Amino acid sequence: MNSPYETVFEQILPRVKRPGRYVGGEMGQIDKDPASVSCRFCLVFPDLYEVGLSNYGLQILYFLLNERTDTYCERAYAVAPDMEAQLRAHGVPLLSHETHTPLKDFDVVGFGLQSELTYINVLQVLDLGGIPILSAEREDADPLIIAGGHCAFNPEPLAQFVDAFGIGDGEDVIVDIRDTWTESRGLPRRERLERLARIEGAYVPALYSVVEENGWLIPQGPRIVKRNVADLNEAFFPTMQIIPWTQTVHDRISIEVMRGCTQGCRFCQAGMITRPIRERTPEKVLEIARELARNTGIEEMSLLSLSTADHKGAVPMARAVRDEVGRPMRVNVSLPSSRADAFNVELSSMVGDERKGGITLAPEAGSDRLRRVINKYLTEEDIINATRAAAKGGHKHVKLYFMAGLPTETDQDMREMAQLIDRCERAGQEVGGRRFGIHVGISGLVPKSHTPFQWSAQLVGPELMRRVRLVRDNTPRRIKVGWADSDERTVEGILSRGDRRAGDLLLRTYHKGARLDAWSEYLRLDLWEEAAAEMGLNIAAYLGERDINHRLPWWHIDAGVTHRFLRSEWLKAVNEKVVRDCREGCLACNACDITGVEMQFGDVKMAPLREPVIRAWKRQKEREKSLCP
């Protein structure tokens, strides 16, 4: 490495905690001669390294861009306060991991946005990287700042900091942005941005003015339709991943087996914005799993999606990966947290090895009534049977994950949650003995854009905590009930449904010293409140109910699902009406039509199902379930 910062960087490292976060040079890192490429790209995950490295979306884009000989893609992450202090004290900018190049010297810097709680770190990275924080202050020589990921579906809080957002699946849009930016080199920055705006799925906020409508700043301009990968089997997936020196949040390799979800949970943004469903074939998954295990030597592998057990070939796929990769290569294969029904649990138990610890089930709501509101069509009996299946499958404990503050929620729902927890423990112990245990996690609902709950009020503060306490006080003391920090949910709530004024608040709070909001030890809600008070911004309005007849700040982003569909789902929620899985019959959300992408089941593509084929589909599903041991 020939970075002029090398010597001073080496002096800094012993003075910070966990220096392994910053050194780079991991197995799997791509090394190229920067002088040999026409575009230098830096992908940034705006959180600490141990969180960012686990993000498989960024790993996909990293290897995808580096496949090209004309592009060198490097990485950077947010830094902890001790590192930030050292960098500032020594006049060292934030550097990329690969070549220790300052971020300001790249052509393109791209952020992956997975949580609104990382927005504050986007500003830190720009600031430390020597790049003007405000898009309007960047000059021709400054890098292009882009962002994508699920949070980009409401881009407005970051609109003044990001030059262009890629909306939807990133694989194609990132390459188009890279090419357009490189080909327009030499032109004035404004003209280059105008060219980017012509790319399908690219949103350039500087080209949109805003007007105030009913108290919200609403962007004016053409709607941006999200990009969707049409064929997941053809989509790029790396057969190598970066293996960290230090422990990360998820020390495992993730293989994406399916994109999209058809369950229709009304709180779930990922389930709405990634429609329609697209599956990789079991053969393709096995091929990737084999290569990854061989190339990385990893010991943990996850078959990842929003609901892996819904994959049409879930059983043969899981069995093949277990038998041909897991057992012979000593890799522990797992599924992510499961829907709380027995089939999901049996599938998880089948695929895992002998080291069975716990399994996470997500009933989400405490009562059957409230599960109808959120369209999680599981009964109490389903959840108890799932717990029993987990104990039978050898799991030593089950973690039940719930939300509080759901629309129409009452104290009775919270008491029923406590009863359900108790019944699950008894059922598990009937099979698994007295050592079988239940752990409980509760967090507050954060209503997200592009979901039926986008109009709902968000519960925060003392009332949220009172409801959580109600569950805890009605649950046997031996069962541990944990809950997520209410302050985190407040900040997430302000930003997730914010307009451009939320960006002003973000900037002001950043200058007050806020950092790493996703970490409870660093989060300072008082700084957010102080900044809001100075601006005269009413936080309660950002967390409050929205009028279903008004345009929302993200109206210009077309996620595929129509306003009409979301609105009808919101009304069904309030009336406790459940809708079916959309593979069993189209619900006319319109995602297939708007994106022009069909549902994909392995190597079969399918238009939305109409009535005559629905019954056959159901019969097939039952047959598949019976294949699971």
Binding site for ligand SF4 (CB under 6 A): 262, 275-276, 582, 586-592, 599, 608
CB 351 within 8 A of CB 303: yes
For ligand SF4, the closer of residues 193 and 586 by Cβ is 586
CB crowding 393-410: b at 16 or more within 10 Å, else e: bebbbbbbbbbbbbbebe
| 3-class SS letters over 495-530 | HHCCCHHHHHHHHHHHHCCCCCCCCCCCCCHHHHHH
Which residue in the block uniquely carries the two structure tokens 């990133």?
170
How does 155-194 read in b/e, with b if 16+ C-beta sit within 10 Å? bbbbbbbbbbbbbbbbbbbbbbbbbbbbebeeeebeebbe
Q: How far apart are CA 262 and CA 614, in angstroms?
A: 14
Dihedral angle computed from the Cα positions of residues 451, 360, 149 and 178, in that order, rounded to the nearest 10 degrees: -150
Element (H, E) at 592: helix 591-595
How far apart are CB 298 and ligand SF4 at their closest, in Å? 34
Q: By C-beta, is 273 or 342 nearer to ligand SF4?
A: 273
Contacts of 44 (CB under 8 A, 6+ apart): 75, 76, 77, 78, 103, 109, 110, 111, 112, 122, 125
**Least separation in angstroms between CB 497 and ligand SF4:** 23
Q: What is the smallest separation between the CB atom of 599 and ligand SF4, expressed in angstroms?
A: 6
The Cα–Cα gap between 628 and 626 comes to 5
Closest CA relative to residue 115, chosen from 157, 81, 75:
157
Nearer to ligand SF4, 539 or 589 (CB): 589
Q: Minimum distance between the CB of residue 451 and ligand SF4, rounded to whole angstroms?
A: 14
Q: How far is the CB of 591 from ligand SF4 (least distance, A)?
A: 4
The residue (of 235 and 599) whose beta carbon lies closer to ligand SF4 is 599
Show the tokens assigned to 381.
């009996």
User: What is the b/e burial string over 89-128, where b = at least 16 CB atoms within 10 angstroms of the residue's CB?
Assistant: eeebbbbbbbbbbbbbbbbbbbbbbbbbbbbbbbbbbbbb
Which region holds residue 581: left if phi is over 0, alpha if psi is between -120 and 50, else beta?
beta
DSSP string, 129-196: TT--SSGGG--TTSPEEEEESGGGGS-GGGTTT-SEEE-B-HHHHHHHHHHHHHHTTTS-HHHHHHHH
Contacts of 375 (CB under 8 A, 6+ apart): 263, 264, 265, 266, 569, 572, 573, 578, 579
Instruction: Write the CA distances from 137 to 124, 161, 509, 519, 586, integer angstroms.
Output: 16, 10, 19, 30, 47
351 touches 308 (CB < 8 A) = no
Nearer to ligand SF4, 494 or 592 (CB): 592
Nearer to ligand SF4, 275 or 556 (CB): 275
Closest contact distance (angstroms) between CB of 569 and ligand SF4 is: 11
Mapped onto helix, strand or coil, the DSSP state of residue 232 is coil
DSSP assignment of 36-100: G-SEEEEEEESS-HHHHTT-HHHHHHHHHHHTSTTEEEEEEE---HHHHHHHHHHTPPPB-TTT-
Contact 95, 76 (CB under 8 A): yes
Q: Give the Cα separation of 540 and 493 in Å (integer).
A: 10
Least distance CB 492 / ligand SF4 (angstroms): 27
Closest CB 60 distance from ligand SF4, rounded Å: 23
